Amino acid sequence: MSGTLAPLDLAALRAALAGADGGGLEPLGLAAVIVGPGALDRLGDVLADLGDGPGEVVVLAAATPMTVRGAALAEVVGQRVADRFTLKWVVLGPADGSVHADEQTVAAAMRAAAGARCVVTVGSGTITDIGKAAAAAGSPLVAVQTATSVNGYADPFSVLLKAGVKRTTPTRWPDVLIADTDVLIDAPARLNLAGLGDMAAMFTATADWYLAALLAADGPPYRSEVAGLVRPHGEHMLGLGGGLTSDGGQLADLTGLLTVSGIGMGVMGSTAPASGMEHAVSHLLEMAATATSGTSTPASLHGEQVGVASITAAATWAHVRERITAGGLDQAARLPDPDAVSARISAAFARLDPSGAMAAECLADYAVKVRLLSSGADPLATLRATWADCDAAIGRLLTDPGELAAGLRSAGLPVRFADLPGPVDDDEARWAVANCALQRRRFGVADLAMLMGAWEADDVDAVLAAAETAAGAGGAS
pLDDT tens-digit readout, 225-271: 999 999 999 988 988 877 787 899 999 999 999 999 999 999 999 99
Q: Of 326, 345, 329, 362, which Cα lies nearest the Cα of 451? A: 329
Write the DSSP symbol of residue 244: T
CATH classification of the domain holding 113: 3.40.50.1970
What Rg do the C-alpha atoms of the chain give, in angstroms? 22
Query: Burial code of 433-468, b = ≥16 C-beta within 10 A, e = fewer?
Result: bbbbbbbbbbbbbbbbbbbbebbeeebbebbbebbb
DSSP 8-state class, residue 86: -
Q: Is 99 exposed, middle or buried (0-12, 13-18, 19+ CB in 10 A)?
A: buried
DSSP 8-state class, residue 93: S
pLDDT score of 475 more than 90: no
- d(Cα 56, Cα 73) in Å, to the nearest integer? 20
pLDDT the model gives residue 53: 75
| Separation in Å, CA 29 to CA 13, 49, 171, 179, 379 | 12, 16, 12, 18, 36
Predicted confidence (pLDDT) at residue 5 exceeds the cutoff of 90: no
Domain contains 301: yes
CB 134 within 8 A of CB 106: yes
**Per-residue pLDDT, 163:** 73
The answer to whether residues 200 and 155 belong to one domain is: no
CATH number, domain with residue 388: 1.20.1090
136 with 283, same domain? Answer: no
pLDDT category, 377, cuts 50, 70, 90? confident
Reported residue count of the chain is: 477
Q: Which of 135, 162, 187 delimits the end of a domain?
A: 187
> Do residue 207 and residue 140 come from a single domain?
no
Could you say which DSSP state residue 271 is in?
A: S
Identify the helix (H) or strand (E) that includes residue 60. strand 57-61
243 in a structural domain: no
* DSSP codes, 133-183: HHS-TTS-EEEEE--S--SGGGSSEEEEEETTEEEEEE----SEEEEEHHH
Predicted local distance difference test score (pLDDT) of residue 305: 97
* Closest CA relative to residue 237, chosen from 251, 226, 248: 251
% the chain with pLDDT above 90: 76
Band the pLDDT of 144: cuts 50, 70, 90. very high
**Cβ atoms of 142 and 119 closer than 8 Å:** yes
What is the pLDDT at residue 167? 82
Beta carbons of 166 and 283 less than 8 angstroms apart: yes
Section 93-103 average pLDDT: 91
Tell me what the pLDDT averaged over the chain comes to: 92
Give strand pairing partners of 165. 162
Chain segment 17-71, per-residue pLDDT in tens: 887 777 789 999 999 999 999 999 999 999 999 977 778 999 999 999 999 999 9
Q: So what's the pLDDT on residue 476?
A: 47
Task: Kindly state the average pLDDT of the residues 367-379.
Answer: 86
Residues 139, 164 within the same domain: yes
Burial of 216 (0-12, 13-18, 19+ CB in 10 A): middle
Clarify whether residues 81 and 152 are in a common domain. Answer: yes
Q: Same structural domain for residues 181 and 276?
A: no
Lowest mean pLDDT among 203-212, 282-291, 409-418, 420-429: 282-291
| Same-domain status, 170 and 313 | no
pLDDT of residue 79: 96
Domain count, the chain: 2
- Percent of all residues in the chain with a pLDDT value above 70, rounded to a whole number: 97
Higher-confidence position of 168 and 395:
395
Distance between CA atoms of residues 271 and 157, nearest Å:
8
Report if residue 170 sits inside a domain. Answer: yes
| Owning domain of residue 380 | 196-220+272-472
Cα 337 to the center of its chain, rounded Å: 30
Structure confidence at residue 297 (pLDDT):
65
Residues 140 and 205 in one domain: no
Question: Amino acid identity, residue 228?
Answer: G
pLDDT for the residue numbered 113: 96
Asked if the structure places residue 468 within a domain, the reply is yes
DSSP state of 294: S
In terms of domains, do 124 and 38 share one? yes
Specify the pLDDT at position 2.
45
Last residue of a domain, one of 137, 162, 187: 187
Alpha-carbon 431 to chain mean position: 21
* Residues 52 and 106 placed together within one structural domain of the fold: yes
- Predicted local distance difference test score (pLDDT) of residue 295: 60
Q: How far apart are CA 279 and CA 269, in angstroms?
A: 17
Claim to verify: residue 172 and residue 207 sit in the same structural domain: no
Q: How far apart are CA 172 and CA 154, in angstroms?
A: 10
Please state, in angstroms and rounded to a whole number, the distance separating the CA atoms of residues 205 and 349. Answer: 24
| 19: three-class secondary structure by DSSP | coil
Using the predicted structure, report yes or no on whether residue 368 has a pLDDT greater than 60. yes
Q: Is a pLDDT exceeding 80 seen at residue 6?
A: no
Any domain includes 367: yes
Alpha helices in 326-425 (DSSP H): 338-350, 357-374, 381-397, 401-410
What does the DSSP 8-state code read for residue 56?
-
Confidence (pLDDT) at 477:
45
Helix or strand holding residue 248 (H, E): helix 248-268
309 and 427 co-located in one domain: yes
At 1, the pLDDT band (50, 70, 90 cuts) reads very low
pLDDT classification of 431: cutoffs 50, 70, 90:
very high
Q: Does 343 reside within a domain?
A: yes
Run of H or E including 278: helix 277-293
In a domain, 126, yes or no: yes
* Mean pLDDT confidence for 275-286: 95
* Helix then strand then coil, % of the chain, to nearest 5: 55, 10, 35
The predicted model scores a pTM of 0.92
Confidence of residue 340 (pLDDT cuts 50, 70, 90): confident
Residue 226 lies in a domain: no
Name the phi and psi angles at 246, rounded to 5.
Answer: -145, -10
